[in-house]
Amino acid sequence: MNSLDLARWQFAITTVYHFLFVPITIGMGFLVAGLQTAWYRTNKVKYLRATKFFGKLFLINFAIGVVTGIVQEFQFGMNWSSYSRFVGDIFGAPLAMEGLLAFFLESTFLGLWIFGWDRLPKKIHLASIWLASLGTLLSAYFILAANAWMQHPVGYTMNLEKGRAELTSIVSVLTQKTALATFFHTIPSAAFTAGAFIAGISAWLLIKKMDAEMSRTTLKLGLITMMASFVLVFISGDVTSKIMTEQQPMKMAAAEALYQTTDSAPFSLLTIGTLDGSRSVFQIDVPSVLSFLATGDFKGTVKGVNDIQAEYEKTYGPGDYSPNIPLAYWSFRLMIGFGALGFLFALLTLFKMRREGTPRGKWFLPAMIFLPFTPLLANSFGWIFTEAGRQPWAVFGLIRTADGVRAVVSAGSVLFTMIVFTLLYGVLAFIEVGLTLKVIKNGPQTELDYADPKLGGSDKQTLVMAY
């Protein structure tokens, strides 16, 4: 493998790994903030137990999200220096804004929240988890705007002399519909993920008869969060696919393995193609649904890979402009499939709870253990689809991924760092999962004493939180 392939693998590994933790963090932050608010409002201790219990899980997860995020900030310069030179004038701005507006807010107020139980008055302590959560939201917004610009560059002009794209309107970059649609797709997905996480864990506690008072409440909270967010994910997913059809028709055609331009195009449930992916042999289809997904009209025309390829050759010169079609096709289906599976589990459980109180049955425990994994898989496949489907472009229409790396960094160096990152991330995953399972097995703490402290706390007391 050359340094390009290795850099691509490294980016894929570190980014997919990072994004396992990100949506849990974003969603859990808000849910824990919500639980703490419920405690603040009602003074019911079950909400305090839930805040502390899920807060612990939130923080174990957050730690890995933070440290793997550091790599993301520098990886562009290290492995993708040509890309960085080309896009820096535009792409750097949202990254710097993310740091200044989001990272500081998130890290500072989370520190206050973790260590502030006996140092901050109740109200300010509650405000700090909300501010930290707001930080995660802002962070998502800026980084998604940067990614949206790679999907659909706007507000720029090309400087051929300097060989780079230059920013002409930051407002277009931050408010283009691609960015907004992605944001409203990703954030509800994060809520869905955290909802599944909380629901799965609460169900386990309920089955093990641990703190039934709390776990019934949090199970319901998790499931209802999943229901509500799924609706939003569904709507924004629909909007996103229409924008994608308009801006990146090749990605949509690849997602459907649709080679010929078709009216009333069917949605394919299963395709078996030739090994080189250039032709499909066997398909199971749902008539006209693809046309509806892509254009909003059951009779609409969806362009096929072959026609788009011919069109792009005219615009961009000779070359292969189609992504890896089996990868795009399957990642698209797995994203939707795992999301829908999680939703069905949640719906069924909620329905059963309504009818028979605590859900029972052989299927229930394994389903609930599997539940948190459904959105994690859906999220990962979603990003794999979005990024792999844009290939061969790094920034659509402007710079190819292959032109983003430079020979300054040898293949050996990239291979070495990739191996170390992968091993390190593997070890961290092992430890993280171990700690998470331990917290769950221990269950919520039941002895909690809380006295509303004055600002700064008192001198001689024992610390509630110490490293």
Partner 1 sequence: MSLETTWFLLISVLWIGYFILEGFDFGVGVLLPFVSRNEADRRAVLTTLGPVWDGNEVWLLVAGGATFAAFPEWYATLFSGFYLPLFLILVSLIVRGVSFEYRSKYGNAKWRQRWDIAIVISSALPALLWGVAFANIVRGVPLEKSAQGHIEYVGGFFNLLNPYALLGGVVTLTVFLTHGAIFLSLKTAGGIRDRAHELGLKIGMVAAVAAVAFLLWTNLALPAFNSKVALLSAGVALAWVSGLAATLKRREGWAFIFSATAILLFVSDLFYALYPRVMPSSLGAQFDLTIRNASSTAYTLKVMTVVAVVMTPLVLIYQGWTYWVFRKRVSASQISHPERGILDTATHILHQ
Footprint of partner 1 on 120-149 (CB under 8 A): 120
| Cβ distance to partner 1 smaller for residue 296 or 434 | 434
Give the max Cα distance, the chain: 76
Q: Name which position in 344, 424, 433, 451 contacts partner 1 (CB under 8 A).
A: 424
Site for partner 1 in 381-410 (CB under 8 A): 406, 408-409
407, exposed or middle or buried, with CB in 10 Å at 0-12, 13-18, 19+?
exposed
Site for partner 1 in 65-104 (CB under 8 A): 66-71, 73-74, 76-79, 81-82, 84-85, 87-93, 95-101, 103-104
d(CA 417, CA 412): 9
Mask: binding to partner 1, 283-312, rule CB under 8 A, as x and -?
------------------------------
462 belongs to the binding site for partner 1 (CB under 8 A): yes
Q: How far is the CB of 100 from partner 1 (least distance, A)?
A: 4
Site for partner 1 in 205-224 (CB under 8 A): 209-213
Query: Is there a contact between 156 and 122 (Cβ–Cβ < 8 Å)?
Result: no
Q: Name which position in 442, 450, 451, 454 contacts partner 1 (CB under 8 A).
A: 442
Integer CA distances (angstroms), 15 to 11, 21, 26, 45, 76, in order: 6, 10, 16, 39, 12
Q: How far is the CB of 417 from partner 1 (least distance, A)?
A: 5
Site for partner 1 in 181-210 (CB under 8 A): 209-210
Q: How far is the CB of 274 from partner 1 (least distance, A)?
A: 38
Query: Is there a contact between 246 and 226 (Cβ–Cβ < 8 Å)?
Result: no
Q: How many residues bind partner 1 (CB under 8 A)?
A: 91
| Cβ distance to partner 1 smaller for residue 323 or 443 | 443
Checking DSSP bridges between strand 164-167 and strand 262-263, what pairing results, if any? unpaired
Name which of 169, 10, 163 is nearest 85 in CA terms.
Answer: 163
Q: How far is the CB of 150 from partner 1 (least distance, A)?
A: 14
Query: Is there a contact between 255 and 328 (Cβ–Cβ < 8 Å)?
Result: yes
Integer CA distances (angstroms), 4 to 8, 79, 88, 402, in order: 6, 9, 20, 7
| Cβ distance to partner 1 smaller for residue 70 or 231 | 70
Q: Which residues pair with 268 in a beta bridge?
A: 285
Which span sits near partner 1 by CB under 8 A: 36-44, 162-170, 228-236, 378-386? Answer: 162-170
175 belongs to the binding site for partner 1 (CB under 8 A): no
Q: How far is the CB of 134 from partner 1 (least distance, A)?
A: 13
Which span sits near partner 1 by CB under 8 A: 25-33, 58-66, 259-267, 290-298? Answer: 58-66
Q: Name which position in 60, 144, 244, 254 contacts partner 1 (CB under 8 A).
A: 60
358 belongs to the binding site for partner 1 (CB under 8 A): no
Q: Name which position in 16, 59, 289, 429 contacts partner 1 (CB under 8 A).
A: 59
How is residue 100 annotated by DSSP? I
Q: Name which position in 337, 413, 415, 422 contacts partner 1 (CB under 8 A).
A: 413
Q: Name which position in 18, 152, 164, 390 contacts partner 1 (CB under 8 A).
A: 164
24 belongs to the binding site for partner 1 (CB under 8 A): no
Q: Is 262 helix (H, G, I), strand (E, B) or coil?
A: strand
449 belongs to the binding site for partner 1 (CB under 8 A): no
d(CA 224, CA 220): 6
Q: How far is the CB of 458 from partner 1 (least distance, A)?
A: 8
State the DSSP string of 110-166.
HHHHHH-TTTS-HHHHHHHHHHHHHHHHHHHHHHHHHHHHHHS--SEEEETTTTEEE
Q: Is 424 helix (H, G, I), strand (E, B) or coil?
A: helix
How is residue 401 annotated by DSSP? G
